């Protein structure tokens, strides 16, 4: 992160079509983000809480994520992850459990309440993402991978 990537520079200036493509993509991301924030807030969550639920559900391996794992996934500091988990726990969305092998590690799991809420929200988000993908000509294969990752994990 923050390192220079040779792909970031090129000898030729960007064409008008390339600039237009970048603008269309950024605008679609912004529209999706704003739509998502409204939808998530309507469901009673903050965008960060929704992202937390997605991060817990999207975990690939058998053990639930630790608070430290979540901090890394959400690109936040560990103390911010602790506060986010505290708030989600007080809302009945997540539960904490000590790791079986290392009692210093706290793992986070979704409650039934969060599973139900996430199912509704993730389904709506994927439908909106499909709509946005049509605008951007994103492949159905990519969307199928996202769908399997977010809706299929932990089911």
Q: What is the pLDDT of residues 82-111, one digit of tens each?
A: 999 999 999 999 999 999 999 999 999 999
Most confident of 51-65, 102-116, 140-154: 102-116
Closest CA to 154 of 64, 69, 45, 52: 64
Of 8-22, 57-71, 83-97, the one with minimum mean pLDDT is 8-22
More confident residue, 131 or 141: 131
Pairwise CA distance, residues 9 & 12, whole Å: 9
Q: Which helix (H) or strand (E) holds 101?
A: none
Burial zone of 74 (CB within 10 Å; 0-12 exposed, 13-18 middle, 19+ buried): middle
Length of the chain: 155
Whether residue 150 contacts residue 59, with contact meaning beta carbons closer than 8 Å, is answered with no
Between 102 and 139, the more confident residue is 102
Higher pLDDT, 2 or 77: 77
pLDDT tens for 38-59 read 999 999 999 999 999 999 999 8
Domains in the chain, start-ordered, CATH in brackets? 37-152 (1.10.10.10)
Enter the pTM of the model.
0.80
Residue 146 is predicted with a pLDDT of: 67
Least confidently predicted of 11-20, 31-40, 78-87, 93-102: 11-20
Per-residue pLDDT at 25: 83
> Given this model, what pLDDT does residue 67 score?
96
């Amino acid at each position: 992160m923050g390192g220079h990537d040779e792909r970031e520079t090129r000898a030729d200036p960007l064409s008008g079509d390339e600039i237009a493509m970048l603008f269309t993509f950024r605008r679609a991301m912004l529209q999706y983000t704003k739509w998502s924030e409204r939808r998530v807030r309507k469901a009673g969550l903050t965008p960060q809480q929704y992202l937390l639920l997605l991060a817990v559900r999207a975990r690939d391996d058998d053990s639930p994520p630790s608070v430290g794992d979540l901090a890394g996934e959400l690109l936040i500091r560990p103390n911010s992850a602790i506060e986010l988990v505290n708030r989600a726990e007080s809302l009945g969305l997540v539960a904490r459990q000590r790791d079986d092998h290392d009692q210093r590690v706290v793992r986070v799991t979704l409650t039934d309440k969060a599973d139900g809420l996430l199912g509704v929200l993730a389904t709506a988000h994927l439908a909106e993402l499909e709509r946005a993908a049509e605008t951007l000509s994103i492949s159905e294969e990519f969307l199928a991978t996202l769908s399997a990752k977010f809706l299929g994990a932990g089911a």
